[in-house]
Amino acid sequence: MDSTGSGRFQPLWREWDNATGFLYNPPSLSSIEYSNGARRAPYDFHSGTSHLTKDHVDQAVAALIGNIRKVATACREANPECLIHVPEGIHPPRHAVFGEGILSRLFAEDLSACIENCKETVAAVATATSVSPVILAWRDSTSRFLQRHLGSGVQFGFDSVMKSAGACSSPLVADPHALGRAFMALGLAYLEEVRGRMPDYAEASGQAAPEPRVSLTFSGGNYYGGQFAAQIANIRSSVAGVHQDGGAGIADALTALGQAVLAQENLDDDQRRDLLDNVEYLAGAAGEPPERRNRGIIRSALNALNAAAAAGTGLGAAMEAWSGVLDRLVP
C-alpha cells in the first residue's frame, strides 16, 4: 500500500530503498514539519520551534521501522514476487506514428544501432563491478530515443519492461549480474519487436515503403515481381533483420526460396502469391526466438513449398539445396 492509502503494489526492493534511504538520509525536521502542514516554510525554522516536531519525528521513525519489518517478513517468506516486479506480456503497441520530420528508413538504421549497443551493454554488464549504473544509463537513453521518434506509447511499453532494473543495486539481490542480463534480454526483445512493427508504423505515418530492389524474372514471355512488390518488400525486410542478427545462412535460404517462387513456371498469380505468403511467414518466424515460433504453421508452410517444388525444377532445386537450413526454423 502506498502513502496515499491505495492498494498499488510496490516491490520489496523499493521498500528497502525507502527504508535504507530514510536511515542514511533522514529528512530535516523542518522538511518533515513543512510536508505535514506546518505554517512556516522550511527556511523560516531558524526563527522558532514548533510543537509538532517530536510528533512528526516519531511518525518518521515508525514508518522506517515499518519498512524494515516488511522487508524482514518478505525475506522470511522467500517470496520472489514481493521482491521485484516481473513484466509479463508487454509488447509494443500495434499502432504508432513517427514524430514530425522523422524518416522511417533512418529510424530503422538508428534502431539497429541501438540494438547493437544493447548487445555491447550486455557484454559490459558481465564484467561490471556495479551493474545498475551501466543498465540504467542504457535504459534511460533508449527510453528517450523511443520517445523522441515514436512517442509515449512505444516508450511506455519499454519503460514498463525495464522499470525494476534499478533492483540490480539492491542488497536483496544475490546475483545482480544475472538479474542485469535478464533485464537486458527483456529490453532487447522489446526493441526487436519494435523493429518488426516498422512497416506498420511507417504506413500509419504516411511514409510509403521504398520500391523493392528485386530482380524481375522473365519466363515464357511473362515477368514476375511487380505485382508481388509488397510481399517481396516484407520478405526482404525480415531477411535483412535475420542477417543482422547473425542468421546469414537462413537469410540466404529464404532469399533463394523467394527468388525460386518468382521463377517457378506453371503457376498462376494466386498460387504464386500463396507460396510467397509461406516464404513471408517463414522469414518472419526466423526473426523470432525459437520458443515463440509456431511449429505447426512452420511445418505447414514448408509442406506447401515442398508440394509446389515437386512440380517445378527451380523451386525443387532450391528446396533440396536449402532443406537442412530451413528445417532449423522448426522449434
DSSP output for 72-119: HHHHHHT-HHHHS----S----S---PPTT--HHHHHHHHHHHHHHHH
State the CB neighbour count (10 A cutoff) for residue 155: 20
- Pick from 139, 295, 284: nearest CA to 197: 284
Q: Could you give the 3-state DSSP secondary structure of residue 28? A: coil
State the CB neighbour count (10 A cutoff) for residue 86: 11
Half-sphere exposure of 155 (CA within 13 A, CB side): 16
CA dist., res. 24 & res. 26, Å (int): 6
Bridge partners, 103 (sequence order): none
pLDDT of residue 182: 85
pLDDT of residue 1: 40
CA dist., res. 284 & res. 287, Å (int): 5
- 294 and 263 Cβ atoms separated by less than 8 Å: no
pLDDT band at 143 (very low <50, low <70, confident <90, very high): very high
The identity of residue 214, as a single letter, is V
pLDDT of residue 58: 72
CA dist., res. 260 & res. 202, Å (int): 29
Torsion sign across C-alpha atoms 277, 293, 143, 90: positive
The identity of residue 225, as a single letter, is G
CA dist., res. 17 & res. 28, Å (int): 18
In this structure, the dihedral spanned by the alpha carbons of residues 116, 118, 124 and 125, taken in order and rounded to 10 degrees, is -160
pLDDT of residue 326: 84
Q: What is the pTM of this model?
A: 0.46
Bridge partners, 222 (sequence order): 219
- 261 and 217 Cβ atoms separated by less than 8 Å: no
* Cell 514471355 -> residue: 221
% of the chain with per-residue pLDDT over 90: 3
Can you state the angle between helices 229-244 and 248-263, rounded to 10 degrees?
A: 160
pLDDT, tens digit, for every residue of 256-315? 888 888 777 777 878 888 888 888 888 888 888 888 888 888 888 888 888 888 876 678
pLDDT, tens digit, for every residue of 182-239? 888 888 889 988 988 888 888 888 885 444 444 444 444 444 445 666 777 777 777 7
Comparing 15-24, 44-53, 56-65, 133-142, the range with the smallest average pLDDT is 44-53
Say whether pLDDT at 119 is over 60. Answer: yes
Bridge partners, 217 (sequence order): 224
Q: Could you give the 3-state DSSP secondary structure of residue 27? A: coil
The helix (H) or strand (E) run that includes residue 25 is none
